[in-house]
Amino acid sequence: MMQSAITVSGLRKVYGDFVAVDDLDLRIESGEVFAFLGPNGAGKTTTIDILTGAQRRTSGSVSVLGQDPQHDEREWRARIGVVPQGTASYADLTVREVIDHFSAFYPDPFPTGQLIDMVGLGAKTTTLTNKLSGGQRRRLDVAVGVVGRPRLVFLDEPTTGLDPEARREAWDLVRLLTHEGVTTVLTTHYLDEAQELAQRAGIIVHGRMLHVGTLDELARMTGRRYRVSYALDPLVEVPSDLAERLGSEPHRCEYTTDEPTALLRLLLDAAKRQGIAEIPGLQVSQPSLEQIYLNMVEQTKDHR
């Protein structure tokens, strides 16, 4: 059985009286894209710093690619890529010189030209980094973070400051890394980004991991159900007992349910009895990650 890329149990980080990470458990499988979600100050960056060996934990156990990050061994470090939140400054170096410099630290780096093209800086190869736009500097940060062909990469707010086109180019790079079998841990405030890229997400609030799962699993945990709607109101009347069970009025054109297939069958049967061949504007939609996230954060506030 393939070993998990990251295993965390009872992770805790305390600064004086402040608990930044509180009894966090987590398992991230090899090759997946996992998104950390949470408001500012939730503990996302602190957790990433511990997983990458940048900070020491207060207690708990952590395994990253089979090793404890606190040992920070050279061979282990070469298999880890990190793109931090801040944009780095490289003084009077060109884009190519920056990549060449960092590639020298790794046994099997990406070829400089290939990597520059991968991050969309092919036209800026000989440009001084202090002449790059903010978005272009962020692309260079990503290139530096993955130059060593990591097996595990941490992307901390990787597309902050990028325009929509550059964001999608960064997404393409994540997909390319995933295609190569790289495990990616992503922290982001852009919920569409997490929904686009990640197989699973974990939602952290106040240092605690509230839930981890796929979008469907998180939706079920928060009570966000499928929405079934149609264009006209009323078009198809739902039997009153069903409407009562769904918590909806019988003549409303929108319903929420955990069993959309069963509800659709009832609607279509009712339409057929009324001589209606098709239900116009019929839509079935899942809750978005944004809806799930906001619902979880709101539930946490309600219990504080």
Q: What residues pair up with 81 in beta bridges, in sequence order? A: 153
Topology of domain 6-79+150-219 in CATH is Rossmann fold (3.40.50)
Interval 123-130 mean pLDDT? 94
| CB-CB contact of 141 with 165 (8 Å) | no
Q: Where are the domains of the chain?
A: 6-79+150-219, 225-286
For 230, 253, 278, the CA distances from 281, given in Å and listed in that order, are 5, 10, 9
Checking if the pLDDT of 235 tops 80, the result is: no
Confidence (pLDDT) at 82: 92
Number of residues written out for the chain: 304
CA–CA separation, 234 and 232 (whole Å): 6
The structure's pTM equals: 0.73
Does residue 19 register a pLDDT over 90? yes
Taking only the tens place, the pLDDT of each residue in 255-267 is 667 677 777 787 7
Whether the pLDDT of residue 29 is over 80: the answer is yes
- pLDDT tens-digit series, residues 71-100: 988 899 999 999 887 777 887 899 999 999
For residue range 162-214, what is the model confidence (pLDDT) as tens digits? 777 778 878 888 888 888 889 999 988 777 788 889 999 998 888 999 889 88
Report yes or no: 85 and 145 within 8 Å, Cβ to Cβ. no
How far is Cα 234 from Cα 190, in angstroms, rounded to an integer?
Answer: 37
Query: According to the model, what pLDDT value does residue 244 have?
Result: 53
* Distance between CA atoms of residues 153 and 6, nearest Å: 12
